């Protein structure tokens, strides 16, 4: 059970962030409304939500998940793989130090939190353009020190591992085709190419947050018995962001 969430409002220069999307420029005011709805959903899930002010130096900084990996015992401060995002982690470490002991990924390692997916006591570490071999190895060593296991997955078609697959508890994964076959013994919900964005879901205290506009994926999740909160994420999708990206859960 999570008790708290840390989020950061998008800045006015949100549209200047890094993206591979061809969906157009995000509408800032609409992004703020969608972010507010996201925060309200976390409150509905029973969390205390800390909302940080926008950080205009870093257009991508509302995607706070990339700055850290949260364990029960510690918070691992990441080292962003995109040069333009280096420094975002400094603004988070002081806040997280009030909740957890801190560990850190050090140079030459790079690691984005969006590449890290936890399933029970096992962590899947995505090796992507943002998370390199050194960063993955450092995190694996930290995790091992706290009694966790880990394995690496090469990420090719999406920016981060969790851009294409998420674990939603109860033995279920939601995945695009690239990651099928990586989770033997689990129930893997394969989403179509057209609904690939819906693979990023966020399970919080008995609720499943999903992105609006993907009816086939929604139907399959409802059939599994999840209590769903559906959120409009159009403006964050334009900037390669999704549900998990917008919070750090503790």
Q: pLDDT of 117-127, one tens digit each? A: 999 999 999 99
pLDDT value at residue 116: 99
pLDDT value at residue 106: 98
pLDDT value at residue 118: 98
pLDDT tens sequence across 89-114? 999 999 999 999 999 999 999 999 99
Pairing type for strands 74-77 and 68-70 reads antiparallel
pLDDT value at residue 137: 98
3-class DSSP assignment, residue 92: helix
pLDDT tens sequence across 54-64? 999 999 999 99
Q: Which residues are catalytic?
A: 160, 245
pLDDT value at residue 204: 98
Q: How far is CA 9 from CA 13, 31, 37, 66, 158, in A?
A: 11, 9, 12, 15, 24
Q: Is the pTM of this model over 0.95?
A: yes
pLDDT value at residue 181: 94
How many Cβ atoms are within 10 Å of 90's Cβ, its own excluded? 10
CB 187 within 8 A of CB 139: no
Residues of the chain with pLDDT under 50: none
pLDDT value at residue 219: 98
Sorted by where each starts, the structural domains of the chain and their CATH numbers stand as 4-249 (3.75.10.10)
pLDDT value at residue 65: 98
How many Cβ atoms are within 10 Å of 85's Cβ, its own excluded? 23
pLDDT value at residue 13: 97
pLDDT value at residue 77: 98
pLDDT value at residue 90: 94
């Amino acid at each position: 059970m999570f008790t708290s969430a840390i989020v950061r409002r998008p800045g006015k220069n949100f549209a200047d962030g890094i993206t591979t999307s061809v969906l157009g420029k995000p509408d800032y005011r609409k992004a703020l409304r969608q972010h507010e709805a996201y925060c309200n959903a976390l409150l509905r899930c029973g969390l205390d939500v800390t909302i940080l002010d926008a950080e205009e130096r870093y257009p991508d900084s509302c995607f706070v998940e990339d700055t850290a990996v949260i364990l029960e015992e510690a918070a691992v401060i990441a080292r962003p793989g995109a040069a333009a995002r280096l420094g975002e982690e400094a603004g988070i470490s002081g806040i997280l130090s009030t909740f957890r002991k801190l560990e850190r990924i050090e140079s030459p390692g790079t690691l984005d939190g969006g590449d890290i997916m936890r399933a029970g006591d096992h962590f899947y570490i995505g090796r992507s353009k943002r998370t390199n071999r050194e960063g993955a190895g450092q995190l694996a060593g930290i995790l091992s020190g706290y009694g966790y296991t880990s394995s690496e997955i090469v990420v090719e078609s999406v920016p981060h591992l969790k851009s294409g697959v998420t674990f939603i508890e109860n033995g279920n994964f939601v995945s695009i085709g690239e990651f099928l076959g990586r989770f033997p013994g689990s129930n893997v919900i394969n989403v179509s190419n057209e609904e690939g964005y819906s693979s990023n879901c966020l399970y919080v205290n008995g609720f499943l947050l999903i992105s609006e506009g993907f009816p086939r994926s929604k139907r399959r999740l409802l059939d599994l018995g999840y209590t769903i909160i559906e959120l409009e994420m159009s403006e964050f999708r334009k900037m390669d962001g999704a549900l998990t990206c917008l919070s750090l859960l503790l």
